[in-house]
Amino acid sequence: MTEAASGSGDKAFDGQIALVTGASRGIGAATALALAAAGAHVVLTGRDTKALETVEEQIFEAGGSATIAPVDLVEPDGIARLASAVSQRWGKLDILVINAAILPELTSVADIDQRAFNKALTTNVLASQALIANFDPLLRKSQDARVIGMTTTVAGAPRAFWGAYGATKAALEVLLACYAQETEKTSKIRVAIVNPGATRTAMRARAYPGEDPATVKPAADVADRLMSLLSENFPSGHRESLNHSR
């Protein structure tokens, strides 16, 4: 891991450690920037080291602090090594934002490519469970631990040709909801499931190549809402959708 740091002021999340997956671009990058601006030390994870370094530099230039931890979430033991590094450096985790995801090709259920589906299941579901499993001990050491998992409209409202992606996100929602119930009375961990709705991201552009990006909200708008939510005393298991757009 490499680190950038600067001075901090009287900010809402001073002293808090946040981990954001998929932090190299889109909603993940915007959320990481917002968390750092609010005083949190942000651990940036993703596969694209150069993109992570760009986000880290933006955080540094704005007076925040961050550590980049390039890791492929599907890599064997990658998440365990990351958790060990965070434990040794800070001994706790206050905020976990599960944002990284893969969008498989949009196709009928009968035509789903098994290899691509397996990769999406591994990234969107298995890696998310591994994040929870490996960081649960560190979350329990926080005085106000919060876990936010990003989902999608098609997880709860199935749509033709979105079966592969929707199935992975539906599975993620179940894992997060169960984790919320399991930890509600035995820890200070609170879990929220957030559907960002139509947002200007690279994934969105792949799914809707003919769409004018200007017609959907920027990722920074989602980050703003996540920051507000993280500041609220929301009940564990909280769910919300930022809009009902496709």
Measured between alpha carbons, how far is 66 from 52 in angstroms, rounded to an integer?
10
Q: Is 179 a catalytic residue?
A: no
Measured between alpha carbons, how far is 74 from 115 in angstroms, rounded to an integer?
14
The answer to whether 138 and 91 have CB atoms below 8 angstroms apart is yes
- Which tokens belong to 58? 């933006």
The answer to whether 25 and 202 have CB atoms below 8 angstroms apart is yes
- Which tokens belong to 186? 């035995």
The answer to whether 41 and 66 have CB atoms below 8 angstroms apart is yes
**To which H or E segment does residue 224 belong?**
helix 219-231
At residue 2, the 3 state secondary structure works out as: strand
The answer to whether 45 and 100 have CB atoms below 8 angstroms apart is yes
- Which tokens belong to 213? 């990006």
- Strands, DSSP E only, in the chain? 2-4, 17-20, 41-46, 65-70, 95-98, 146-150, 190-195, 199-200, 217-218, 238-241
Please pick, among 165, 175, 191, 222, the residue that the annotation labels catalytic: 165
Measured between alpha carbons, how far is 233 from 71 in angstroms, rounded to an integer?
31
Catalytic machinery residues: 165
